[in-house]
Structure 1
Amino acid sequence: MFCPYKQQIIWLICEAGLEGYLSEAGASYIDTKLGLNVVPPTGVVALAAPSFNYGKFDRAKARTKQTISNKWRKMARVFKRTGLPSKVGSLQVFVNGYEDACIMLRKWELKEEELPEFSNKHFLIQFQKLIILDYIIRNTDRGNDNWLIKCVMASGNNESIKADSIPINSNPAQVEDLIDLGNNEDKLNKEAVNATDRNNGETENGAEGLDISIDQSDIFKIIAKDQVNKGFAVSEPSSESEYQLLRDIEHSKCPKYFIAAIDNGLAFPFKHPDEFRGYPYGWAYLPFARIAFLPEITAKFVPLLENAYFVQEMCEELKQIFMKDSNFDKTFFSRQMSVMRGQIFNLKEALKVGKTPYDLCLMTPQYMCEVKIKKQKGRKGQKLRVPVGGNNGREDANTAQNGEAHPNSYIDLDNDSQPGTSRNSSATNNNTWSRLYAQRVQIRKPFFKFW
């Protein structure tokens, strides 16, 4: 008996072969690397607590060690660890004062709340950054109920600051002895702190892209206040138009809307959906998705995404995050990166021609496979390094583990149609994509595109 849901469960298990906490950390890294600032800082940590899910054996073992350590201090030196074993996971900064996007969107749709012109553009910039994040990581679980919106009224800034401040207890409760992190876990915990520092450090660099005539002290004041209201880092204005927008909002006393993209645990798939479900983006059907990408977004992200070496560096740094998984597989990771690079390629092309986010979702899925160098021996035993062209021995992300390809899922493009830059591309990054990657097009489509 055919069961389509069974296939989707298997697909999700395969897609989630990457642990969810690593997907959360990877999304936070992409957010920081591109300067999107829509994901609360997230890091990989190792923690232990009695409230975690442990088996009876682990709890009995921890209680026995704790009892022996309390009665015989000298014998406690024999134990490498006297508490519960640590569990590795992702730790994300908690954001206060936000509500589900579907609630705020319903208010705007029913005219219960007004969206002034300046506030609309301020929100649209962040909304399009959310689209860039979800599209790059190919988030398969993005509905309008798992990204958040916060409204900060111009007259209630002081109240927002008090609400977002975390009360610090001068007499904290004693931590139970069953929590023990160890030296190895301390390294992981420091990475979460460093991720937050990197995100917050962006506001210390100033507005380098602005004209000298603009008072930078006003920029720092606005950014500092927005960062407190938002709960994490705020993107700096990269042009005079963005700064003018912030100043207009301040003078007109319009409300500000901030976005927090949470729940990124089902991202970085190893292939594009091509079976029963299409896993569409929830924001693709909103009216905001029918608005073309703003010039501020295009001017900021096209130079970054056009440089294939920047994308290659991003993949290498993602590899360092994913390698923390004990079941890390190099072939599986390369397939994930081929999907992500294909998404980046489509995104940069859509930004260049001024497409809308809705049009971006309709573009043909791409695989950008890393070109491998094949070693050949010469006549006298000398090794010759020649680049592999076409399908002549290339090992890429879309080859099955047993070495057999799947011709019904994608097609290879000829060398003439390889992923070069578009007609209006910059000369500085000309043909960097064609040097590093080979393009494959996904031709197999899911049965339901809207679900």
Structure 2
Amino acid sequence: MKLALNIICQITKSWSISIPSTSRQSDTSWASRIRQYVASSKLCTTNLEDEDFNENLRRCAAAMEAGIHPLRIPSGSSGSYFIRDISGKTIAVFKPKDEEPFAPLNPKWPKFFQRILCFCCFGRACLIPNNGYLSETGASLVDEKLKLHIVPKTRVVKLASPAFFYSRSFWKRKVPKLKAGSYQLFVNGYVGAGSIVPDWSKEGHSCPLSPAEADRFKILFQKMCVLDYVIRNTDRHMDNWLVRYEKKNILEVAAIDNGLAFPIKHPETTSRLRPFPFGWAQLSWAKLSWDEELRTHLLDLLTPQFVQELCDDIKMLFKYDKEVNRFLKYNQLRVMRGQIWNLRMALIERKPPAEMVKLPLLLVSRRHRRRPMSNDWNKSFRVKYADYRGRGCC
């Protein structure tokens, strides 16, 4: 058990990340810049201000030392696991990189047969394969930067457990191999939006929400729309966003399953048959005008300087996966900047989310390598319309 605990928080030498410094002095090294989103090699923590996440990770380590290992989640298309504490309570969800939907060690049989029999439609051409764990963490990063607070805190962590799915060679090893993946804090008391939100979409006296609750849900719903639009989530439907509701007491929304986001191309320009539209765009809530407080908050926040800082943070995070070509990461940022450009225009022109998704698709790159000195977006960025030529069937 001692050996098992030791390997939980040790990162192999090729992936080693320095311990977060207690100093507040600026450090431009790659390891220091992403320490807020990647667990360190020795302390099993991220940054020192991330105490809730650090405590959760310590509970995970204590449980695994006591022999309480993760439980595989039967639903879904990838190998994902409930992380438990020493009392058996679920505290997090871990999704290993090598067990993602299109990874070689995915334990779910449907994806295996799809890879063998339907290889022409395998995967999503607009996404980087097996990059979902960084997409999950990137969504949490964007959520925190935009101050939306609807994504459960997510970080990159390496764990090892015999409960994970390994190849046959695993059984020849004395200890399980470390797996990098996304580690998302578990939220309690939530249900799938599909079981409750359709009733809230009814107009008139049939809607069970009070006026104050309807206003609250409108803000939370629009925050989710903003998040999904910025990261260009290709997999948002009624089953992967959650609602916690206690009448006249609690109303919260949690946007989970963000692993199929940050495309290298707009999905609409990649496939004729699979554009991956936003699942919420058809709801009546998407047709409501923007909440004025949220609109003002976002417009004040979305300056060229902020966009550049956000893109720099995303770029640093995505550098964690050294197998991905840097030009693909560059294309991811062009798509995200284009989405932010359209979001800003929709807010200025007061177009609701349902109209925002109809804006022309853009690819936006920066004009200067350094921090923009002007608040003029046209002087800070180059805008190009997305190219629909060369679309495939799938």
When normalised by structure 1's length, the TM-score is 0.56
Q: Which amino acid aligns with 1:439?
A: V
Give a deviation string over 1:356-404, Cα, whole Å, max 9, x none.
100001100111023367xxxxxxxxxxxxxxxxxxxxxxxxxxxxxxx
Contact 1:123 1:256 (8 Å CA) reproduced: no
Shift of 1:58: 2.4
Map 1:73-112 → 2, pairs under 5 A: 83-109=175-201
What percent identity do the matched residue pairs reach? 37
CA–CA distance in structure 2, aligned partners of residues 90 and 14 of structure 1: 21
SS at the partner of 1:15? coil
Deviations 1:11-70 (A, max 9, x none): x155133611000000000001111000000000000001111223222221xxxxxxxx
Which digits, 9 at most, give the CA deviation of each residue in 1:73-98, with x for residues without a partner? xxxxxxxxxx2221000110111111
Confirm whether residue 262 of structure 1 aligns to residue 229 of structure 2. Answer: no
**Counterpart among 217, 236, 243 of residue 149 in structure 1:** 243
Is the Cα–Cα contact under 8 Å of residues 311 and 341 in structure 1 kept in the other structure?
A: yes
1:441 equivalent in structure 2:
385
The answer on whether the counterparts of 1:278 and 1:447 sit within 8 Å (CA) in structure 2 is no
1:119 and 1:255 in contact (8 A); partners too: no
In structure 1, what is the Cα distance between the partners aligned to 2:130 and 2:307? 20
1:296 paired with 2:388, answer no
Q: Is the 8 A contact 1:119 1:256 kept in 2?
A: no
Higher relative contact order (CA 8 A, sep 6+): 1
Q: Report if the CA contact (8 A) 1:25-1:42 is conserved.
A: yes
SS in 2 for 1:347: helix
Distance 1:350 1:429, change over 3 A: farther
Is contact 1:284–1:358 with CA below 8 Å preserved after alignment? yes
Match of 1:330 in 2: 326
Distance 2:335 2:121 in 1: 19
The one of 112, 126, 140 equivalent to 2:234 is 140
4+ residue runs of structure 1 moved beyond 4 angstroms?
5-8, 109-113, 445-448
Counterpart residue number, 2:315:
319
Judging changes above 3 Å, is the alpha-carbon distance between structure 1 residues 7 and 135 closer, same or farther for their aligned structure 2 residues? farther
Report deviation, 1:317.
0.9
What residue is the counterpart of 1:61 in the other structure? 173
SS in 2 for 1:90: strand
Residue 201 of structure 2 contacts residue 284 of structure 2 at CA under 8 Å; is this kept in 1?
A: no
Quick one: structure 1 residues 295 and 112, their matched pair in 2 at CA, closer, same or farther if it must change by over 3 Å? closer
> Deviation at 1:292?
1.1
Give the whole-Å Cα distance in 1 for the aligned partners of 2:389 and 2:188.
Answer: 40
Deviation at 1:152, TM superposition (A): 2.2
Which one-letter code corresponds to 2:288 in the other structure?
Answer: I
Unaligned runs of 5+ in 1: 63-82, 154-253, 374-427
How many angstroms apart in 2 are the aligned matches of 1:47 and 1:303? 40
Q: 1:24 aligns with which of 136, 141, 144?
A: 136
Structure 2 Cα separation of the partners of residues 99 and 445 of structure 1:
41
Matched ranges for 1:38-49 at <5 A: 38-49=150-161
1:44 aligns to what SS in structure 2?
Answer: strand
The answer for the alignment partner of 2:224 in structure 1 is: 130
CA RMSD of aligned residues (A): 2.5
- Cα separation, 2, equivalents of 1:434 and 1:18: 35
Cross-structure match for 1:271 = 265
Which residue, out of 284, 287, 296, partners 1:287?
284
Q: Is the 8 A contact 1:16 1:266 kept in 2?
A: no
Are residues 18 and 55 of structure 1, via their aligned partners in 2, closer, same or farther at CA, if it must alter by over 3 Å?
A: closer
Contact 2:126 2:266 in 1 (8 A): no
Counterpart CA distance in 2 for 1:446 and 1:293 is 36
From 367, 375, 380, the equivalent of 1:430 is 375
1:205-247 superposed Cα distances (whole Å, 9 cap, x missing partner): xxxxxxxxxxxxxxxxxxxxxxxxxxxxxxxxxxxxxxxxxxx
| Secondary structure of 2:196 counterpart | helix
- 1:240-255 matches, within 5 Å, as 254-255=248-249
| Paired letter, 2:150 | V
| Alignment pair present for 1:9 and 2:9 | no
Q: Offset at 1:331?
A: 0.6
Post-superposition Cα deviations, 1:334-371, rounded to whole Å, max 9, x if no partner, equal 10000000000000011011111000011001110233
CA gap 1:284/1:29 in 2 versus in 1, 3 angstroms: same
Distance across 2 between alignment mates of 1:338 and 1:150: 35
TM-score (norm 2): 0.64
Which structure would you say has the larger Rg? 1
Amino acid at match of 2:375: N
